[in-house]
Amino acid sequence: MNRSTLDLWVGIFVTIGVAAILFLSLKVGNLLTVSNDQGYRLEAEFDNIGGLKLRAPVKAAGVVVGRVEGIKLDPKTYEAVVTLKIDRGYEFSKDTIASILTSGLLGEVYIGLDSGGDTKMLADGDRITKTQSAIVLEKLIGQFLFDKAAGGGDAPAASGGAAPAAAATGGTR
């Protein structure tokens, strides 16, 4: 094997190998958007975030406008504080409602933003005041069974209907 041909092949091999690692890191692992510091941050408090994870998408009208950047528990209020990173170019009104939603029955958990009618816009570091927590299936079922037991079967239809409604609206502030 000629020395320079060997060098060339090893060069090609290492180059495409490193390119593959870069491809996996940037295109598949999406490393680029992590280091991409453009955009601004918003905070939102939730009673319960359910299965929300870091780097979950933030969507407005189904369009991804940002990512979940941080999740922590407020030690005083025992509420989850979620930091959202919104891409530059998207603005939302002060009365925007943030809700934790699930795409499909088993799909990924994401945060949906519904903009309101306020003319003032949220700026970097602002807190979204209107939030809707995740619907936790176990709690829902638990409450349903509890209500049913407490009601002694008088009005199963009424209490059964009320429980999910309460759970769903209870989180709205």
Partner 1 sequence: MALRRVGRATISSVERLGFAARFSLAVVVHAPAALRRLRLTLREIYFSGVLSLVIILVSGLFVGMVLALQGYDVLTRYGANESLGVLVALSLVRELGPVVAGLLFASRAGSAITAEIGLMKTTEQLSAMEMMAVDPLARVVAPRFFGGIVSMPLLAALFSTMGIFGAYLVGVRLIGIDAGSFWGNMQAAVDFRYDIVNGIIKSVVFGIAVSLIAVFEGYHARPTAEGVSTATTRTVVASSLSILALDFVLTVFMFRGLGV
What is the binding site for partner 1 (CB under 8 A)?
1, 6-7, 9-10, 12-14, 16-18, 20-21, 23-25, 27-31, 33-34, 55-57, 64, 104, 106-108
Structure tokens at 58: 């933030």
Closest CB to partner 1 among residues 107, 152: 107
Give the rounded distance of the alpha carbon of 148 from its chain centre: 33
Ordered strands of the 57-60 beta sheet: 127-128, 40-46, 79-86, 63-74, 57-60, 109-114, 97-102, 130-132
Closest CB to partner 1 among residues 6, 123: 6
Closest CB to partner 1 among residues 21, 158: 21
Nearest distance, CB of residue 6 and partner 1, angstroms? 5
Nearest distance, CB of residue 18 and partner 1, angstroms? 7
Query: Burial letters for 123-141: b for 16+ Cβ neighbours within 10 Å, e otherwise?
Result: eeebebeebbbbbbeeeee
Closest CB to partner 1 among residues 23, 146: 23
Nearest distance, CB of residue 57 and partner 1, angstroms? 6
Nearest distance, CB of residue 10 and partner 1, angstroms? 5
Please state, as a whole number, how many other Cβ atoms lie within 10 Å of the Cβ of residue 46.
Answer: 23
Closest CB to partner 1 among residues 87, 126: 87
CB 133, CB 47: distance < 8 Å: yes
Nearest distance, CB of residue 95 and partner 1, angstroms? 28
DSSP assignment of 57-93: EEEETTEEEEEEEEEEEETTTTEEEEEEEEPTT---B
